[in-house]
Amino acid sequence: MRGPGRLRRRAPEPLVSVVVPAYDVAAWLPACLDSLLAQTHRALEVVVVDDGSPDDSAAVAASYAERDRRVRVVRRPNGGLGAARNTGTAATTGELLMFVDSDDVVPPDAVATLVSSLRASGSDFAVGSCVRWTGEGLQEPPWMRRLHHPPRRGATADEHPELMGDVFAWNKLFRRSWWDAVGLSWPEGVRYEDQPTTTRAYLAGRFDVLDEVVYHWRIRAEGTSITQQRSTLADLADRRTTKRDAWAAVRAHGVGATSAVYLDRVLAGDLHRYFVEVPGCDDAWWELLRAMVLELWSERSLVHSGLPPVHRLTGWLVEQGRRDDAAAVMTWFAGLDGPVPRATLGPGEPDPAGSGLRIDVPVLDGPTVAPVDPLALAVRPHEA
């Protein structure tokens, strides 16, 4: 029992292990490591994984390790981001685990904010919001802001399935004991490895959702970022693989309502980024896109998805194999100066969404164009 006048000792800060894969990032790595070493939460272990980088990334990391004992460097042959993260995880010793990409920046209070939430809630992991950093300013994506408001503690995927749309590895802090107990790791040999692993994490545990920004995500202007290579066949193949894996985990989870939201609002969420590549794509890319869409949405068409109306239409055209029409719609859409125009439905026209409106797409008008399902043109009441 504490005697009078004796001070209560504060619990020591938990050690947070931060895994930083590094490949060809010598130009950005210093800013990343500077931001980590400036964290207000001082109990850090920063494990930089040199993934066989051809530039000076390893030397940059080694120079930081010489100056600050919290930094260590692990070297491995090049194996990609997932393999580097797994190698780094195996080398960590902390109670809590975080992943940071080496061309990004972590704001000073980010780790402390995430740690504080887990200490208060007892959850398995915490996830904060992020802003995009383009060099012209920082901006929180509207969809990210929507997912993180209001904040929640102890949430589950079945209670809030749409939160699985925050698929990123790097704005989250995990309890290492839970990570190991659940058997989580990152897929190796593919891009977009974040989605299968974060999906399994959401399904397996309880998590805190914070509205604070805990990450600055750099969009590289020169186009070398993985997420800027969507027109390549290899990129699309990896996207199909990781979507397939994530969807398999959700289906195996076996909760119908969670699966429905995931399919419509999460799994479909980034397809618009591929639809814009349809004009000018080659035959192999088109066939792979259509195969992916037919495989994943064979039981429920994309006309039911949470995509915006013009992309629901394009998704339906992809399902139908109408490549020329899909390309025409995306080319027309890219040239618009404003929103997609709406047309009022006439007497007797089907109104499947109940809004009295459809999108007006002139490139699909005319006697030589095949009919379009009214549901593919529908405007929902909240979109009117």
pLDDT at 222 over 60: no
Last residue of a domain, one of 162, 192, 224: 224
The encoded tokens of residue 242 equal 């990781």
Largest CA distance in the chain: 91
Q: Are 326 and 317 in contact (CB under 8 A)?
A: yes
Q: Classify the C-alpha dihedral 111-113-117-119 as positive or negative.
A: positive
Does 284 lie in the same domain as 207? no
The pLDDT score that the predictor gives to residue 137 is 84
pLDDT at 197 over 70: yes
Backbone angles phi, psi at 150, to 5 degrees: -80, 160
Last residue of a domain, one of 224, 256, 288: 224
Q: Is residue 147 part of a domain?
A: yes
Mean pLDDT for 239-254 is 98
Other beta carbons less than 10 A from residue 334's beta carbon: 9
Does 165 lie in the same domain as 286? no
At 136, which CATH number?
3.90.550.10
Residue 135 — very low, low, confident or very high, per pLDDT cuts 50/70/90? low
Does 296 lie in the same domain as 176? no
Mean pLDDT for 197-221 is 94
Does 275 lie in the same domain as 354? yes
pLDDT at 226 over 70: no
Distance, in Å, from the CA atom of 172 to the CA atom of 147, rounded to the nearest integer, reads: 14
Q: Are 363 and 329 in contact (CB under 8 A)?
A: yes
Residue whose entry in the numeric block shows the structure tokens 């719609």: 329
| Domains: count for the chain | 2
pLDDT at 248 over 80: yes
pLDDT at 8 over 90: no
Residue of 229 and 165 predicted with greater confidence = 165
The encoded tokens of residue 228 equal 């800027």
Tell me the average pLDDT of the chain.
94
Domain range for 185 is 16-224
Q: Is residue 367 part of a domain?
A: yes
Picking from 127, 129, 344, 165, the residue whose alpha carbon sits closest to that of residue 271 is: 165
pLDDT in tens, 11-62: 789 999 999 999 999 999 999 999 999 999 999 999 999 999 999 999 999 9
**CA torsion angle 201 205 211 213 (round to 10):** -40
Mean pLDDT for 115-130 is 98
Residue 1 — very low, low, confident or very high, per pLDDT cuts 50/70/90? very low
Last residue of a domain, one of 195, 224, 253: 224
Share of the chain above pLDDT 90, in %: 90
Q: Are 68 and 60 in contact (CB under 8 A)?
A: no
Residue 235 — very low, low, confident or very high, per pLDDT cuts 50/70/90? very high
The pLDDT score that the predictor gives to residue 33 is 98
The pLDDT score that the predictor gives to residue 78 is 97
Mean pLDDT for 129-133 is 93
Q: Is residue 83 part of a domain?
A: yes
Does 273 lie in the same domain as 168? no
pLDDT at 164 over 90: yes
pLDDT at 165 over 50: yes
Distance, in Å, from the CA atom of 349 to the CA atom of 39, rounded to the nearest integer, reads: 60
Least confident of 195-199, 222-226, 237-241, 290-294: 222-226
The encoded tokens of residue 177 equal 């004991």
Mean pLDDT for 322-340 is 97
